[in-house]
Amino acid sequence: MSLGIQEIGVYIPEKRISNLELKEKFNIDDTFIEKKIGVKQRAVKEPTEKASDLCVKAFENLKQKVDINKDEIDCCIVVTQNPDTPIPHTSAIVHAKLGLKEDCACFDISLGCSGYVYGLAVALSFMEKMGLKKGLLFTADPYSEIIDPEDKNTVLLFGDAATVTLLSEEGTLALKKALFATEGKNFEALTIKNGRLYMNGRAVFNFVLTKVPNQIKRLLEESKLSLEDIDLFLLHPGSKYMVDMLAGRLKLPKDKVPFDMLGYGNTVSSSIPIMLEKFLPKKDIKRILISGYGVGLSWASAILERV
């Protein structure tokens, strides 16, 4: 038996802010909102809610789908760049709020939109090597805490959410090959300035279109797979236009590239697991390619295979 993804819990806050109401303010139209950005409404958490609270709610969703004995959880990892506080790590606070057992490894991974691909690889490698049987991999990056409501480049795009992936020996999806890359020299295209998110949208877009298709091609090549061998491509929705352009460059059939953030926004490291959750029960989906890219600048792609 080898470790893999058993189930995914998702939490998207109910509260929504509509981009349609901002058309006049930012001089944009429906086409821009639907075809270019791909976000009509953004999910926003309550101001008092912290990353750890979103994680707890994702866990509650997970519990509705699968029986979990908390005393079996050996490992609790949170991927975030908006932690509750810098000290301690948010995973320790989640550990407290969920009442997990003492023999449980907890740490946070700081990464943005490539965070789920990394998180899966780090969590599964760590668990396997350290002999841990059951783990929780959370993603929670509430960008509403750092978005400047006057910044057209970012305010229309990001939504709050959290996910938790149950990793165990009863996994239905195994992680196969993964590739990771970094272009630190351009990190300033996506960073925090004076406590607010700053994004050079054009620079990020160009970076993604230049780098990601090559990584995906190389991943397939090194895995001795062709595009046809992949049943589903879960590409991080940087924007609708970005996903469309990526799919076009790679000549992917549209029905293999779901796009799913129109009603809640770009949820950073939660975007891929939110999409993945819907395909977990579909047994005809044998092989999934996931790819995340953004903050760092960082990009990572991996192949998941049904056990």
Residue 104 is a binding residue for a second copy (CB under 8 A): yes
User: Binding to a second copy (CB under 8 A): which residues in 64-83?
Assistant: 75-76, 81-83
Exposed e or buried b per residue across 5-22, where buried means at least 16 C-beta atoms within 10 angstroms of its C-beta: bbbbbbbbbeebbebeeb
Residue 92 is a binding residue for a second copy (CB under 8 A): yes
Q: Is 24 left (phi over 0), alpha (psi -120 to 50) or beta?
A: alpha
- Residue from 17, 121, 225, 285 touching a second copy (CB under 8 A): that is 121
Asked whether the beta carbons of 280 and 5 are under 8 A apart, the reply is yes
CA 165 to mean position of chain CA atoms: 11
Residue 93 is a binding residue for a second copy (CB under 8 A): yes
Residue 126 is a binding residue for a second copy (CB under 8 A): yes
User: Binding to a second copy (CB under 8 A): which residues in 132-161?
Assistant: 146
Q: How far is the CB of 141 from a second copy (least distance, A)?
A: 9
Q: How far is the CB of 37 from a second copy (least distance, A)?
A: 20
CA 162 to mean position of chain CA atoms: 9
Query: Which stretch, 15-23, 96-104, 155-163, 246-254, contacts a second copy (CB under 8 A)?
Result: 96-104
Site string for a second copy, 162-201 (x = CB under 8 A): ----------------xxxxxxxx-x--xxx----x----
43: nearest Cα among 64, 27, 57, 62: 57
Residue 236: how many other CB atoms lie within 10 Å: 31
Cα distance between residue 185 and residue 46, in whole Å: 35
Residue 108 is a binding residue for a second copy (CB under 8 A): yes
Site string for a second copy, 22-61 (x = CB under 8 A): ----------------------------------------
Q: How far is the CB of 256 from a second copy (least distance, A)?
A: 26
Residue 1 is a binding residue for a second copy (CB under 8 A): no
Q: How far is the CB of 201 from a second copy (least distance, A)?
A: 15
Residue 25: how many other CB atoms lie within 10 Å: 11
- Residue from 30, 71, 103, 150 touching a second copy (CB under 8 A): that is 103
How is 220-286 classified by DSSP, letter by letter? HHHTT--GGG-SEEEE--S-HHHHHHHHHHTT--GGGS----TTT-B-GGGHHHHHHHHHTT-TT--
C-alpha distance from residue 73 to each of 76, 83, 103, 106, 159 (Å): 7, 21, 8, 11, 29
The footprint of a second copy (CB under 8 A) covers 75-76, 81-83, 85-97, 99-100, 102-112, 118, 121-122, 124-126, 128-130, 146, 178-185, 187, 190-192, 197, 295-298, 300
